[in-house]
Amino acid sequence: KNEVEQSPQNLTAQEGEFITINCSYSVGISALHWLQQHPGGGIVSLFMLSSGKKKHGRLIATINIQEKHSSLHITASHPRDSAVYICAVQGSGSRLTFGEGTQLTVNP
């Protein structure tokens, strides 16, 4: 079993829909990161969480430390949100362990 499990692996939505991506982990962490990767490879950090909830624009990330679970929500999705979303947990130092990623496609 992977240390970081993401679901779903693929997600297709219509523009305007509310989207949820889930992440479960099985190890102790110092923080959980949500990352976005566009075609071509560039990775952008969306959120870093160690507790509670964060919001940035249409994106919301939550974490439940006791249940070892995090969710990334996108409200009013847009075609430009199409990308791979990756959950990563931070253990010792700056080392990240990654989930397999969720390929999101938002159709107009």
Partner 1 sequence: KAGVTQTPRYLIKTRGQQVTLSCSPISGHRSVSWYQQTPGQGLQFLFEYFSETQRNKGNFPGRFSGRQFSNSRSEMNVSTLELGDSALYLCASSSRTGGADTQYFGPGTRLTVL
98 binding partner 1? (CB under 8 A): yes
Interface residue with partner 1, options 7, 62, 96, 103 (CB under 8 A): 96
Cα–Cα distance list, 107 to 13, 37, 87 (Å): 6, 18, 23
CB-wise, 17 or 103, nearer to partner 1? 103
Q: Minimum distance between the CB of residue 67 and partner 1, rounded to whole angstroms?
A: 19
Residue in 38, 34, 22, 40 with CA at minimum distance from that of residue 79: 38
93 binding partner 1? (CB under 8 A): yes
42 binding partner 1? (CB under 8 A): yes
> What are the structure tokens assigned to 47, written together?
């959120």
97 binding partner 1? (CB under 8 A): yes
66 binding partner 1? (CB under 8 A): no
101 binding partner 1? (CB under 8 A): yes
Residue in 87, 102, 97, 74 with CA at minimum distance from that of residue 16: 74
- CB neighbour burial string for 42-76, b if at least 16 within 10 angstroms, e if fewer: eeeebbebeeeeeeeeebbbbbeeeebebbbbbee
What residues make contact with partner 1 under the rule CB under 8 A?
30-31, 33, 35, 41-45, 48-50, 86, 88, 90, 92-98, 100-101
